[in-house]
Structure formats: structure tokens, C-alpha cells
Amino acid sequence: MSETLAEVRMLGDSYTREIRSLLYHAYRHEPTFNYLFEGDRPGFDQRVRATVRELTNQHMAEELPVIGLVLGERLVAVALVAPPQRRLGITESWAWRMRMLLTAGFRCTRRYLDYHEAVLGCLPPGPYHLLPLLGVHPEFQGRHLGEQLLNALHLWCAEDSGSRGLVLDTGNSRYLDFYRRHGYQEIGEVALGPIREHVLFQPNPQPEEHLASQA
């Protein structure tokens, strides 16, 4: 399918519902979420929807960055970004934990918290941006929007001299080659039952590289 060019936007509160809907559709078939939220047990879709809602609402309440791609006025891809100094903020919130317990249940909340801590444990010392959630709406996959979103994220993070790069993780083996082609290096692996969650790092370009990309 041919490439579709979208507009890059920093998203505010007015996009919250669209962000939640897009991320729910992007994650409900992901192997990691299937394991964390017990996809073989009734209520799985509700647990995924509730988790995405709580993560997004907390992210927006803390006024953390959100970068999206928009076609016309429709949000087609999005990434929640955690700056280096705010990496632990969401899961340290007791209010967030209580809402998760009430919606996703104790066992799934515990699994999510353990997964989150294990991913953070793979990070080397130093300041990095993290991507807790990102996705392209399933209706718009195959149009190179994933590349556009990553490129926008890389350029945005490179403007922060206090960050060494960008970290994300995936348990979907189909995405590994995609991320590696875009310069990501594997820095750790987390076992989640039958899933192997890969933790990946993309270093910010050196100043001369960044200037060349803008030329």
C-alpha cells in the first residue's frame, strides 16, 4: 500500500477520548496485553479498555507529552511519551493503582506492575525518554504511518539535550525487524509467561547527524 502523509501534532486534553480509543484497538490483539490481562478469561476486552483508559488519563493529568498523527481531523497514530525525569510517575500513583485494582483486578494489576518494573530494570543508567504506549489504528496500518510516527518521535526527542535517546518495548515478534531497521538496539529481555518482551533503545543522533537531517 502506498505511503500516506499525515500531520504531526502535539496532543492535548481535547484528544483524550480519541487517544484511548485508538490505543485500545491497537493493543487488544497484542501478545503482551493478552498475557498481562488474561485473554483466555471472560472480561478481557473490558480489562484492556480500562487499563488503556487509566494509563491515558493519568498521563494526560500529569501533562506529559503526547505526539500524534492526524489525517484530516482523524487521529490515526499516537505515542505517549514519558520524559527522563518522569519515568516512574504513573505507576507510583496510589490513586492510579486503586483504579486499576477496581477495573482490571488484583492479579492483572500485579502482573502489569511487575512487567513495568522489569522493563525499567533493563535500562542502563542515564536519562532516556520512554514510550509506555504507542500505536497505529488498525484501519490505517500498512500506510507507513509507523515510520512517520517514529521519525517524528526521534526528531522531537533529539531536541532534548538532557536525553540520550528513546526506549520502547514489544512482545510482538513481527515488530522487531521494523524497530531494528529504524536503529533500535536490544538492551534487555523480560519473560512474561510464554511471551518474551524485548526492550529496545534508539540513541539520539549526534549533533552533526541531527543538523544533517534538517538540511
Residues 119-174 have pLDDT tens digits of: 988 987 788 899 999 999 999 988 899 999 999 999 999 898 888 899 999 999 98
Calculate the CA dihedral of residues 37, 43, 44, 46 and round it to 10 degrees: -100
- Within a domain: residue 59? yes
CA 43 vs. chain centroid, Å, equals 23
CB atoms under 10 Å from CB of 191, counted, come to: 9
Task: With respect to residue 73, please indicate whether it lies within any of the assigned structural domains.
Answer: yes
Domain assignment present for 60 = yes
Give the HSE-up count for residue 130: Cα atoms under 13 Å, Cβ half-sphere: 24
Flag whether 1 is in a domain.
no
For the chain, the domain total comes to 1
- The answer, yes or no, to whether residue 215 has pLDDT greater than 70, is no
Q: What gap in Å lies between CA 182 and CA 187, rounded to an integer?
A: 15
Q: Is residue 176 part of a domain?
A: yes
Q: Considering the domain boundaries, does residue 2 fall inside one? A: no
- More confidently predicted of 69 and 3: 69
- C-alpha cell belonging to residue 66: 503526547
Query: In this structure, what CATH number is given to the domain that contains residue 112?
Result: 3.40.630.30
Four-CA torsion 109, 47, 94, 165, nearest 10 degrees: 80
Burial of residue 215 (number of CB atoms within 10 Å: 0-12, 13-18, 19+) = exposed
Question: Residue 102 sits in which domain range?
Answer: 7-214
Give pLDDT tens digits for 29-77. Answer: 999 999 999 999 999 999 999 999 999 998 999 899 999 999 988 999 9
- What's the pLDDT band for 91 if we cut at 50, 70, 90? low
- Report yes or no on 155 lying in a domain: yes
